Structure 1
Amino acid sequence: MATLPKKYQWLAEEPGPRMIKEALAVFGTVEQPGDPNNPVIISWAKETGEKNVTQMYVADSIPWCGLFMAVVAKRADKPLVKDPLWALNWGTFGVFTKTPMLGDVLVFVRRTTDGSRAGHVGLYVGEDETAYHVLGGNQGDCVCVTRMAKTRLYTARRPAYQLQPDNVRRIRLATTTALSHNEA
């Protein structure tokens, strides 16, 4: 695992939720520039065990936030959504929650360069007044934490816990970095 930025180092001490722990285990994974592919990211497709994912995901130049979520969920023994490569499909994961908290899946809407609607998905690690702090894949071509405008939130989904971890809570953080505008 790459070193977490100082403002997020507290995450390494959190006892859960398990999806956060699994995401942190691959923190810093970077997409290869140009034609070469990062074999780690490519291997995640096979690890999901989903035939359609393995067939569709053949290059790390393909948006991979949904793939990141699929491998994190799989490693955390959570069920995958149908067609997990499509970020907006994570809007059916777990159970809806009105108030996002640590470890919840956040699904965002974004516009592509041609103006069509697409999505982005990641995990809640905190919030400030105007943004959620999101641990996700394909954020600046890597697994990292970035700020996403609250106005872009499509839905928040909590894993269907048998026993919810005690540390699932809202986390207030300082506004310290620019907002993300295009995660693909």
Structure 2
Amino acid sequence: MATLPQKYQWLREETGPRMIKEALAELGTVELAGAANNPTIIRWAQETGLKSVAQMYVADSIPWCGLFMAVVAKRAAKSPVKDPLWALNWGTFGVFTKTPMLGDVLVFVRRTANGSRAGHVGLYVGEDETAYHVLGGNQGDCVCVTRMPKQRLYTARRPSYKVQPANVRPVHLAATGVMSHSEA
């Protein structure tokens, strides 16, 4: 298992939410450079059991934050959204929440190189005054925790729980670490 930066080591001791635990199990998974593909990322498309995803997802150079969330959700016994490769589709996952908390799905808006609108999706692990700390895939071409500007938040979605884990709460962290501005 990859090493978490010191400021996030506390996540290893959390008992849930299950999506956080499943995401941490893939921490450090990296996209391979050039034409090579990381077989782990390619297997995620098959593991989700979503036929269209397995057919569409043939290279790790295709943005994979939504794919990562689909495999994490499936492993945590949650249903992925329709067309999960499109990050903005995660805006229909679970239930809307005005106040993001540990384990919530955060959906962000970003602009592509040609100026069109795209998205990014990951899990809330905390926040500081200006950023959410997000555990996700395809962040710097790997599964890691990074800071995302709060003004880019499109929506926050809480997984549907039969019984919400007791540790689902807001987490306030120091404003340290790199701020992400593009996750393509």
TM-score (normalised: structure 2): 0.99
Aligned to 2:84: 84
* 1:62 corresponds to: 62
SS of the aligned residue for 2:151 comes to helix
Q: Which residue of 2 aligns with 1:32?
A: 32
- Structure 2: which amino acid aligns with 1:71? V
Deviant stretches of 4+, over 3 Å: none
Match of 2:149 in 1: 149
1:176 aligned residue: 176
Q: Secondary structure at the match of 2:60?
A: coil
Aligned partners of 1:22, 1:142: CA distance in 2, in Å?
15
Matches within 5 A, 1:107-146: 107-146=107-146
Segments of 5+ residues of structure 2 without an aligned counterpart are none
Query: Which residue of structure 2 aligns with residue 166 of structure 1?
Result: 166
Letter paired with 1:158: R
Amino acid at match of 1:127: E
Shift of 1:178: 2.5
Partner of 1:42: 42
Amino acid at match of 2:182: N
| Distance across 2 between alignment mates of 1:80 and 1:9 | 27
Matched with 2:22 is 22
Between the aligned residues of both structures, percent identity stands at 82
Name the SS for the 1:71 alignment partner.
helix
SS at match of 2:142: coil
Q: Which runs of 5+ in 1 are unaligned?
A: none
Cα deviation, 1:117-175, whole Å, max 9, x if unaligned, reads: 00000000000000000000000000000000000000000000000000000000001
Q: Which amino acid aligns with 2:80?
A: L
Distance in 2 of aligned mates of 1:12 and 1:178 = 21
Displacement, 1:16? 0.1
Cα distance in 1, alignment partners of residues 141 and 148 from structure 2: 15
Q: What is the one-letter code of the residue matched to 2:75?
A: R
Q: Distance in 1 between matches of 2:38 and 2:99?
A: 35
Secondary structure of 1:137's counterpart equals: strand
Please tell me the residue identity of whatever aligns with 1:141.
Answer: D
Q: Distance between the aligned counterparts of 1:171 and 1:18, measured in 2?
A: 17
Q: Distance in 1 between matches of 2:30 and 2:52?
A: 23
Question: In 1, distance between residues paired with 2:154 and 2:51?
Answer: 27
Deviation at 1:179, TM superposition (A): 1.1
